Amino acid sequence: MNRRLFFVAAAAFAAMLGVGPGVQAAEPMKVSASFSILGDMVKQVGGGRVEVFTFVGPNGDAHVYEPTPADAKELSESKILFINGLGLEGWMTRLEKSSGFKGTVVTATKGITPRKMVENEKTVTDPHAWQDLGNGKIYVTNIRDALIAADPAGKVTYEANAQKFLDAIAQMETTVKQAVAKLPPERRKIITTHDAFGYFGAAYGIEFIAPEGVSTESEASAKDVAKIITQIKKEKIPAVFLENVTDSRLLEQISRETGAKIGGTLFSDALSPPDGPAGTYLDMFRNNIETMSAALSS
Ligand SMILES: [Zn+2]
């Protein structure tokens, strides 16, 4: 394209967007989020005023991640860095340092009650707080308040977007509770690869058992796997579920050795790509509860 033609095309494009001389185009505020679930929440609250960069993308494992130079560049240009906290993002401190980030770090779990558990005789904090929709509401209010503090001109927009999102989360809570209530109590038991659903289990009354701990960093020992196999047989646990962020081989093995069927794939620590079944926080819940219901109801 020659320069003149390019200019004409660019002007036409700008006119299309309603941007031109005398019309101020609002630049969206750049922010970063550590992983896809949190990134979606920030997008829902920020709307068009915010441009969100997410480090660990769809189907990615937020426990273990190798930041790239592109991540450092995005973070250096961000006004806010949203993290989950509770020990999820062990790789973040290094990224923050290498990027020279000078903005505000916002911990989305601020104010929630962390779930503690004992693993190999040590007390560990469970980072998967987003799997309880009640906690999801706290994430949303923390995100809203941080966006208002950084961009006061957007207060009305952020408040309206947050309220709409909070209402939708409340509706999803009802859906999940109703779905669990329909399941026979003795079938409310689920095996997953790593311990990502402790908050979900505590909030909605399903027992989750996992050969791996609250992080994917350490692999399950032969002893852990043997223990679970015994438990599945003894308690007649009906189904095991794969996760979108973990290797499926371990659970396929457990399924073969116990006869427990594979109930499908649950989205634990990451969303699906946008065109998949769990492209947003709420679609993740919808997909997970439908998958659980289908496998456990009969
Ligand atoms: Zn996890």
Taking the centre of ligand 1 as the mean of its atom positions, its distance from the CA of residue 244, in whole angstroms, is 11
Q: What is the reported pLDDT for 242?
A: 94
Q: What share of the chain is helix, strand, coil (3-state, %, to 5)?
A: 50, 15, 35
Taking the centre of ligand 1 as the mean of its atom positions, its distance from the CA of residue 27, in whole angstroms, is 35
Taking the centre of ligand 1 as the mean of its atom positions, its distance from the CA of residue 41, in whole angstroms, is 18
Rounded distance, CA 284 to CA 272, Å? Answer: 8
Taking the centre of ligand 1 as the mean of its atom positions, its distance from the CA of residue 246, in whole angstroms, is 9
Taking the centre of ligand 1 as the mean of its atom positions, its distance from the CA of residue 218, in whole angstroms, is 11
Q: What is the reported pLDDT for 26?
A: 78
Judge contact between 214 and 240, C-beta under 8 A. no
Rounded distance, CA 113 to CA 190, Å? Answer: 23
> Angle, nearest 10°, between helix axes 249-258 and 222-235?
40
Q: What is the reported pLDDT for 74?
A: 98
Q: What is the reported pLDDT for 281?
A: 98
Neighbouring residues of 19: CB distance < 8 A, sequence distance ≥ 6: 25
Taking the centre of ligand 1 as the mean of its atom positions, its distance from the CA of residue 274, in whole angstroms, is 20
Taking the centre of ligand 1 as the mean of its atom positions, its distance from the CA of residue 243, in whole angstroms, is 10
Please give the CATH superfamily to which domain 26-170 belongs: Nitrogenase molybdenum iron protein domain (3.40.50.1980)
Taking the centre of ligand 1 as the mean of its atom positions, its distance from the CA of residue 157, in whole angstroms, is 32
pLDDT by residue for the chain (298 residues), tens only, comes to 455 555 555 555 554 554 444 445 579 999 999 999 999 999 999 999 999 999 999 999 999 999 999 999 999 999 999 999 999 999 999 999 999 999 999 999 999 999 998 888 899 999 999 999 999 999 999 999 999 999 999 999 999 999 999 999 999 999 999 999 999 999 999 999 999 999 999 999 999 999 988 898 878 889 889 999 999 999 889 899 999 998 899 999 999 999 999 999 999 999 999 999 999 999 999 999 999 999 998 6
Whole-number CA gyration radius for the chain: 22
Taking the centre of ligand 1 as the mean of its atom positions, its distance from the CA of residue 152, in whole angstroms, is 34
Taking the centre of ligand 1 as the mean of its atom positions, its distance from the CA of residue 84, in whole angstroms, is 12
Q: What is the reported pLDDT for 19?
A: 45
Rounded distance, CA 137 to CA 165, Å? Answer: 9
Every domain of the chain with CATH number 3.40.50.1980 lies at: 26-170, 182-297
Annotation: CATH topology of 182-297: Rossmann fold (3.40.50)
